[in-house]
Amino acid sequence: MVTLAVNDREYTVEIEPRVSLLSALRDACGLTGAKRGCDQGTCGACTVWVDDRRVLGCLTLAIGCEGRPIRTVEGLADTAADGERLHPMQEEFIQHDAFQCGYCTPGQLMSAVALVHEGHATDDAEIGEWMSGNLCRCAAYPHIRAAIRDASTRM
C-alpha cells in the first residue's frame, strides 16, 4: 500500500513497486487529466508536479512520490489566487485558443504554470525553449506562447 497526496487529498492505493506515477494517478486514483502519450518521456503529455516541480509521470515511480505533494491538472484551479474558478493559465489557454485536439493540453498547462514560476517567460524564444519538452501535434505553439505571455502578467 502506498499513500499519495494528490491535489491536497490522500489516496491509499495498492500498487506494485514498478508502477509509474502516471499509471497510479490514472488507474488507481481515477485522475485521468495527465495523458499517456509516448510512455518514454518525450512528449510531455503526462506532466504533473511533485514537490512543486514538473515531472514526467510516465518516467516517475509512484512509490517514490509517497509523502510528497503531487499536483495534477485536476487540481490546478485550486492554486489560483483570489478564489478564481480557473487558474489564469487555464483562462488564457481558452482565450487564446491554445489547444486544438486538447490531448496535450493538461501537460502543456502544468509546464506553462511551472515555467512562469521558474522565471522563464520573458520572451517567445525562452518560452519555446522551456516548453520544448511538451509536444503539440496540432502545432498550436503560437497560441500557447501567447497564452503563457498573457497569463504570466496575471500570475
CB distance 93 to 136 below 8 Å: no
- For residue 83, give the C-alpha cell: 478564489
Residue 78 has pLDDT above 80, yes or no: no
Q: Is pLDDT above 80 for 84?
A: no
- Domains 2-72 and 86-154 agree in fold: no
The answer for residues whose C-beta is within 8 angstroms of residue 60's C-beta and 6 or more apart is 20, 21, 22, 50
Fold of 2-72: Ubiquitin-like (UB roll) (3.10.20)
pLDDT at 80: 66
Question: What pLDDT, on a 0 to 100 scale, did the predictor assign at position 83?
Answer: 60
What does the pLDDT look like over 25-76, one tens digit per residue? Answer: 999 999 999 999 999 999 999 999 999 999 999 999 999 999 999 999 999 9
pLDDT at 94 (0 to 100)? 96
Q: Which H or E element spans position 70?
A: strand 69-71
Q: Domains of the chain: which residue ranges?
A: 2-72, 86-154
Assigned CATH topology for domain 86-154 = DNA polymerase; domain 1 (1.10.150)
What pTM did the predictor assign? 0.94
pLDDT class for 108, splitting at 50, 70, 90?
very high
pLDDT score, position 82: 61
Q: What pLDDT shows up at residue 92?
A: 97
